Structures are given as structure tokens and as C-alpha cells.
Amino acid sequence: MYLLVSCGNPNICGDMVKKYQIIYADPPWRQSKGGLRKCRPNQSKKLDYPTMKLRDIRNIINSCPKENNHTLFIWTIDKFLKDTEELFSDYKLHARIIWDKENGVAPAFTVRYSHEYLLWFYKPPMMKIQESFRGRFTTVLREPSTKHSKKPKIARGMIECLYPLERRIELFAREKTLGWDVWGNEVESDIILALRKEPKCHLKVRKR
């Protein structure tokens, strides 16, 4: 690893590399916007941000400085669920948490896709959660979605309750949150990631 990392506070970090215990990531999966209406011909299918190949997403997460024994919470959608699990098959999968966003688009006017996944991976042994929150959350988080790709507050809140004292970073963040370091192209990042050279990834987006 050859990462240059600073938390901005020399009393805490000095020149040492800060290693995270919790990684929370919401990658820009390669997809386009669903739910476009014929009555709005000027609406674009393109997302408002650049998307990434699977290999690059893995590279970024792998390059983030972390303790050997760490936890990765990563957002994914139905289309990439299997790919995400394959991409991080060197982790143990603890839970597929579902966000019920109480609304969503209905492809071909069928059922409304109203959920996304927050996958909980860890490198064993699993870090113990805060005792007072044992069994307090369920695998379904319910919060109405607000704008495209914005994740519910309840997810970050849950992680803060489970792991209040651990060193946490949010990757692909859009906003700075108290108690978290952040990294992304729409936010002032706390770290610089020196990307590792990755072997070719044979995963391709599946056609479904």
C-alpha cells in the first residue's frame, strides 16, 4: 500500500496513514435513468454524474486504507446484485439490507422497483457492534426516497449506532458528515487515493 492519507489534524494523524474500520460506499454503477416519460422528450437517460466500470469500483474500494479486520457497507441495485457479491467474494457477506424507498419506477408498466440493497460485508473476525444496539435494526430500512441516487439518512445513522467509535469513511460521498471522512468528486475529500494497479477483472455486466 502506498497511500497518502491525512485527516487534517496533525495531533491525531501526524504523518501516519489512517486506516479505516468502516467503509461505506455508494458507487456510480454503470446504469441509466429509468422511468422516463414520453410526454417529456427532453429528459435525458444519462445520469447526472459519471459512472464507472466494475473493475474501477473495486479498485477504488481496494485502494482505500483499511484495517485488515474491517467492514464494508456498499449500496447496489438489483441489476448489479450478483456482480457486487462476486466483486467482493473475498469478504464474508453478513447481510443484504434492503432499503424500501416506498416509490420507484415501473419498467414496462409492471411492478414498481422500490428497493435497493445495502450489502454488509466484513473481513473476519466481524467487529463487535455497540452492545446497546444489538437486534435494534432490521434488514429492512424504510424511508421515502427524495432525489435520484440520494441514499436514506437512516443508513448512515444505523452504521453510526452500530459502530460509533470506529474510524469511518464514506466513498463516493456527496456531502460531508460529522464523524466521517469522505471521498468523492462532488465533495472536498479528506483523503487522496493512490489507486493500485488491478489485475484484469473478468466480470461483465450480465444481460438480463
What does the binding site for ligand SAM look like in residue numbers (CB under 6 A)?
26, 28, 49-50, 52, 149-151, 172, 174, 184-186
Residue closer to ligand SAM (CB basis): 86 or 143:
143
Residue closer to ligand SAM (CB basis): 63 or 71:
63
Instruction: Please state the closest distance from residue 151 (CB atom) to ligand SAM, in A.
Output: 4
Instruction: Please state the closest distance from residue 176 (CB atom) to ligand SAM, in A.
Output: 12
Instruction: Please state the closest distance from residue 175 (CB atom) to ligand SAM, in A.
Output: 7
Task: Provide the grid cell at 148.
Answer: 435520484
State the number of CA atoms in the 13 A half-sphere of 179 facing the CB. 11
What residues form DSSP beta bridges with 5?
A: 191
How many C-beta atoms surround the C-beta of residue 29 within 10 A? Answer: 20
Whether the Cβ atoms of residue 93 and residue 85 lie closer than 8 Å to each other: yes
Whether the Cβ atoms of residue 62 and residue 84 lie closer than 8 Å to each other: no
Residue closer to ligand SAM (CB basis): 41 or 189:
189
Instruction: Please state the closest distance from residue 187 (CB atom) to ligand SAM, in A.
Output: 8
Whether the Cβ atoms of residue 66 and residue 202 lie closer than 8 Å to each other: no
Measured CA to CA, the distance from residue 169 to residue 67 in angstroms comes to: 12
Residue closer to ligand SAM (CB basis): 14 or 157:
157
User: Which residue has the closest beta carbon to ligand SAM?
Assistant: 49
